[in-house]
A and B are shown apart, each in its own frame.
Chain A
Amino acid sequence: DQQVKQNSPSLSVQEGRISILNCDYTNSMFDYFLWYKKYPAEGPTFLISISSIKDKNEDGRFTVFLNKSAKHLSLHIVPSQPGDSAVYFCAASVIQGAQKLVFGQGTRLTINP
């Protein structure tokens, strides 16, 4: 039972353009969502988060959008840079108590010069 799904295993984008990574979830109890970025041979690093009381959170070139009715979130990177090439994981949790993150399968983003 995959509660958090990233249906695109890979995405290729030209440098300077917008990268859009998508994530869907099934558990309506999730109220906190995060994106992590992972380079090869390193652990995931936190990128940006959003709570369910918001529909948008922005941090520099990174913006996360949350559509609760569709149980869908997306990460926008504008403009995309070569250093953004990595695997991106979407994660979700129930903020009260558990701190248990449920991760998606990841999307490998490649930024082409």
Chain B
Amino acid sequence: EAGVVQSPRYKIIEKKQPVAFWCNPISGHNTLYWYLQNLGQGPELLIRYENEEAVDDSQLPKDRFSAERLKGVDSTLKIQPAELGDSAVYLCASSYGTPSDEQFFGPGTRLTVL
């Protein structure tokens, strides 16, 4: 079974530039998560989708971050414009969606903003 796929794996941009990350969840997983992981910290939830609906985006900085999950499968997370403090690893995870289901994580995208 293929795992959660994320691309790109690494991205270096200058501040004020836009950037986008892509995630393809495990087939059949209805729930998709985007997490932010700063250096030396644990992952923090940015947004959770149930199929194509964003059911928890309370931690997403909506002034510069946006996300979509068209057709309820793969998802894109965008930052526009990027700031120096956005340098971090962006993790995508998916699960079947019941409360105790295991979340499977992708390898993440490491973003460096110069």
Contacts and interface: CB of A to CB of B under 8 A. Distances in A.
A44 B56 CA distance: 21
Interface residues of B, number: 24
Interface of A: 4, 9, 32, 36, 41-46, 49, 51, 89, 91, 93, 95-101, 103-106
Interface of B: 4, 31, 40-45, 48, 56, 91, 93, 95, 97, 99-108
B48 A99 contact: yes
A99 B105 contact: no
Nearest to A46: B102
B100 A103 contact: no
Given A98-B56, A99-B95, A100-B56, A46 B42 contact: no
B105 A44 contact: yes
A101 B100 contact: no
Contacts, number: 60
Given A41-B107, A43-B105, A32 B41 contact: no
Contacts of A36: 105
Please list the 4 inter-chain residue pairs (A to B) with the smallest Cβ-Cβ separation, ordered nearest first. A103-B42, A43-B105, A46-B102, A95-B99
Given A41-B107, A43-B4, A43-B107, A99 B43 contact: no
Given A44-B105, A99-B95, A105 B42 contact: yes
B36 to A, nearest CB: 11
10 contacts: A36-B105, A89-B43, A99-B48, A99-B97, A100-B45, A101-B103, A103-B44, A105-B42, A106-B40, A106-B42
